[in-house]
Amino acid sequence: MMSLFPLFLKLEGRPVLVVGGGEIAEGKVSSLLHAGAFVHVVAPTATLAISAWAEEGRIQWHKRSFAASDVSDQELVIAATSSPDVNHEVYAEAHRHRVLCNVVDDPPYCDFYFPAVVRRGDLQIAISTGGQSPALAQQLRLQLESQFGPEYAERISELGRQRREVLATQPPGDARKKLLHELAQEVLEFDPVEAKAHRKDRKIQPEGKNVYLVGAGPGDPGLLTLKAHRLLGTADVILHDELVSQEILQLARPDANLVNVGKRHGAKRITQEQ
């Protein structure tokens, strides 16, 4: 069997045709709306959900049978009627217009397949068996949904924020790449049960600035802990002594206030009281 090329497609505002108005078509329309597609439905009758989406202006519903001209100007076509003859006619017209088409549950008449999908916010895991066993794909989806719970939506959002912060504050190189991978590893090692218990037991802290003590080690940025990298890259003010290397200080934000509080014999910079 021909190998499939996996990809995630941006459909925001793009026209997609769904031929059929039953429950299967409803599921496809729902997924397309989630992706922001501009959906056209062609069907004499439709489910209550499709009818409601049309009344709300979220889709265009043409209450009639399929016509060859319906395929014009569409970027994707999905045939989901109960008639194989109509579905195959839709597929033929789509190919004549060089538009990719999916005939639901009819692999020989599919240019692409709809995978089973696990959605957790911006995290999407798609599973496909190339049309060999949609049932297996669904079983795998259930297993992955159990492994990656709803809490991953928040974790992925926070990971994205941390990544943008690192890219904005850290110079390109192996140290930055390592930090990004360590941040991702933190997400995989996240235990939602433990985190929930921690939140429950933790006392509410008053709002205000935080102070952290960071050990610089022997001076090699690559030997700093993940948290040390993150704190140095986000701190407003960094107090350091003479032993901290310039390589480590360069991890600070460009606008951070670096204050040398180091002490050397006969050359005090900052008094103990300060």
3-state secondary structure 136-170: HHHHHHHHHHHHCCCHHHHHHHHHHHHHHHHHHHC
- Closest by CA position to 42, among listed 69, 70, 14: 70
| Residue 51 near residue 27 (C-beta atoms within 8 A) | no
Amino acid in the structure at residue 44: P
Which ranges in 56-113 belong to alpha helices (H)? 84-96
Distance between CA atoms of residues 136 and 126, nearest Å: 13
Q: Which residue has the tokens 């941040």?
A: 183
Q: Annotated active-site positions, please? A: 241, 263
The enclosing H or E element of 124 equals strand 123-127
Provide the token pair at 203: 């006392």
Distance between CA atoms of residues 104 and 225, nearest Å: 51
Amino acid in the structure at residue 195: A
| Residue 239 near residue 261 (C-beta atoms within 8 A) | yes
| Residue 38 near residue 61 (C-beta atoms within 8 A) | no
Provide the token pair at 172: 């390109």
